[in-house]
């Protein structure tokens, strides 16, 4: 069996993370390192300080620390809490960045301690100047720099290539969605959201009957209100994909979500979590494309707010072809998404259960 290079590559005393507006990649990287590095002592969170020229990411750093503490305090033998948080007063100025990381971080390091910088978050200037300063400390044979590739969910290590190893089961694993899980309640808390409602009983038999009526050709003037469409779809998706989703939450339904400072809230009809990766589904029973398009815009925006730019969104609408295809094209064009990030399904899809479930499966896991 091939030698496992993870301990060597990720084996460091200090893990340095650059905290931007989306702390999820930071959590994924930190959790993965902690799983594979028992000697990791210190996690450094470098964040922007609020002033007239930049917004602060201190709150994101605190939320990240809260989740890591919940997950790892008392379970990791070496990691120290509280985490080390370093504020940067000007994340666009090289001299300021270099001076502050020197004074606030590097001066306290011992000569023989090792480090690893993951530069996924933060600004480009932060990543560039922190990288260059730490590069001066790099020892021969070390690979202390990495980023999380949002397109393929892999950790990419500089001068090393994409991180891969052969586990005890002999299967090559490289997709971090298979390694890092986060419950949906923790995921929304990481972005300062809370759930407003609670689960309520669902009538699956009624949902099935209404769904069969709904997909029949003809006008939909007598469509019944309620959550029956997402109830039926969630049940079918759970049966088809539930065992493949690497997350105890799997498929969730009808979460009303808000921030503590908001008077309003938004709702996610169906939530699929594969590891830490979010796919949200919104359903619109009507047949008006402009309304379906607005629902599509909303689900794309909400998924990005919670799951980052790599989150995926599905809109299911009561449209016939070619309007479903036009909806797909317009959502891609007007949001900058592609077919990897947004999927539009209509009545023609829903009439073929195997086909639409296969489309959802491919969309979620590819």
Indicate whether this model's pTM tops 0.95.
no
Q: What is the pLDDT of residue 172?
A: 40
Residue 301 lies in a domain: yes
Q: 132 with 223, same domain?
A: no
User: 314 with 357: CB under 8 angstroms?
Assistant: no
Domain stops at, among 148, 180, 212: 180
Q: Which two tokens stand for residue 215?
A: 């997909």
On the question of pLDDT at 3 being above 50, the answer is no
On the question of pLDDT at 211 being above 50, the answer is yes
Cα separation, 228 vs 242, whole angstroms: 20
Q: 176 with 190, same domain?
A: no
Q: 214 with 268, same domain?
A: yes
CATH number of the domain that residue 174 is part of: 3.40.50.10770
The one-character DSSP state at 60 is H
pLDDT in tens, 97-140: 999 999 999 998 877 788 999 999 998 999 999 999 998 887 76
Q: Which two tokens stand for residue 75?
A: 């379970």
Q: 203 with 348, same domain?
A: yes
The rounded mean pLDDT for the chain is 90
Q: Distance of CA 154 to CAs 51, 206, 254, 289, Å?
A: 34, 42, 30, 37
Cα torsion through 126, 129, 133, 134, rounded to 10: 40
Least confident of 93-102, 136-145, 198-207, 292-301: 136-145
Residue 353 lies in a domain: yes
Q: 198 with 337, same domain?
A: yes
Q: 120 with 238, same domain?
A: no
User: 287 with 301: CB under 8 angstroms?
Assistant: no
CATH number of the domain that residue 202 is part of: 3.40.1350.10
Per the structure, the complete domain to which residue 281 belongs is given by 186-365
Q: What is the pLDDT of residue 1?
A: 35
Sequence-distant (≥ 6) Cβ neighbours of residue 226 within 8 angstroms: none
Residue 1 lies in a domain: no
Q: 119 with 197, same domain?
A: no
Q: What is the pLDDT of residue 10?
A: 79
> What's the domain count of the chain?
2
Q: 């986060």: which residue's tokens?
A: 182
Q: What is the pLDDT of residue 7?
A: 60
Domain stops at, among 137, 152, 180: 180
On the question of pLDDT at 174 being above 80, the answer is no
Q: 196 with 297, same domain?
A: yes
Q: How much of the chain exceeds pLDDT 70, in percent?
A: 91
Residue 73 lies in a domain: yes
Can you list the alpha helix ranges (DSSP code H) found in the chain? 6-10, 24-36, 58-72, 94-104, 124-135, 184-190, 204-214, 228-241, 289-307, 323-335, 347-350, 353-365
Q: 125 with 198, same domain?
A: no
Domain stops at, among 150, 180, 210: 180
Q: How many CB atoms lie within 10 A of CB 96?
A: 15
Q: 174 with 251, same domain?
A: no
Cα separation, 348 vs 327, whole angstroms: 14
Pairing label, strands 312-317, 14-18: unpaired
On the question of pLDDT at 164 being above 90, the answer is no
Residue 323 lies in a domain: yes
Residue 176 lies in a domain: yes
Q: Distance of CA 351 to CAs 160, 269, 319, 326, Å?
A: 48, 20, 12, 19
User: 243 with 147: CB under 8 angstroms?
Assistant: no
Residue 337 lies in a domain: yes
Using alpha carbons only, give the angle 104, 110, 115 rounded to the nearest 5 degrees: 75
Residue 275 lies in a domain: yes
Q: 229 with 281, same domain?
A: yes
User: 274 with 245: CB under 8 angstroms?
Assistant: yes
pLDDT in tens, 230-275: 999 999 999 999 999 999 999 999 999 998 788 889 999 999 999 9
Q: 100 with 79, same domain?
A: yes
């Amino acid at each position: 069996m091939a030698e496992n290079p993870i301990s060597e590559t990720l084996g460091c005393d200090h893990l340095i993370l650059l905290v931007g507006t989306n702390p999820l990649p930071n959590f994924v990287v930190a959790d993965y390192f902690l799983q594979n590095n028992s000697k990791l002592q210190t996690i450094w969170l470098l964040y922007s300080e609020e002033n007239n020229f930049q917004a602060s990411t201190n709150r994101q750093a605190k939320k990240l620390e809260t989740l890591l503490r919940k997950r790892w305090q008392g379970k990791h033998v070496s990691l120290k809490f509280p985490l080390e948080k370093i504020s940067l007063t000007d994340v666009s100025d090289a001299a300021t960045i270099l001076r502050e990381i020197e004074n606030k971080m590097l001066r306290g390091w011992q000569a023989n301690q090792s480090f690893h910088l993951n530069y996924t978050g933060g600004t480009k200037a932060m990543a560039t100047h922190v990288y260059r300063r730490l590069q001066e400390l790099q020892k021969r044979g070390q690979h202390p720099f990495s980023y999380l590739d949002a397109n393929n969910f892999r950790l990419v290590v500089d001068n090393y290539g994409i991180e891969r190893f052969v586990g005890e089961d002999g299967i090559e694993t490289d997709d971090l969605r298979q390694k890092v899980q986060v419950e949906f309640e923790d995921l929304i808390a990481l972005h300062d959201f809370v759930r407003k409602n609670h689960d309520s009983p669902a009538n699956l038999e009624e949902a099935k009957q209404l769904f069969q009526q709904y997909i029949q050709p003809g006008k939909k003037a007598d469509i019944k209100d309620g959550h029956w469409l997402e109830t039926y779809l969630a049940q079918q998706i759970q049966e088809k994909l539930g065992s493949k989703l690497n997350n105890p939450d799997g498929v969730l339904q009808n979460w009303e979500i808000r921030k503590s400072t908001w008077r309003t809230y938004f709702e996610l009809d169906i939530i699929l979590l594969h590891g830490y990766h979010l796919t949200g589904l919104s359903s619109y029973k009507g047949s008006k494309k402009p309304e379906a398009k607005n629902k599509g815009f909303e689900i794309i925006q909400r998924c990005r707010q919670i799951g980052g730019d790599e989150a995926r969104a599905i809109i299911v609408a009561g449209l016939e072809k070619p309007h479903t295809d036009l909806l797909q094209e317009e959502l891609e064009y007007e949001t900058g998404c592609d077919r990897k990030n947004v999927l539009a399904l209509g009545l023609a899809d829903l009439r073929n259960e195997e086909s639409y479930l296969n489309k959802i499966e491919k969309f979620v896991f590819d």
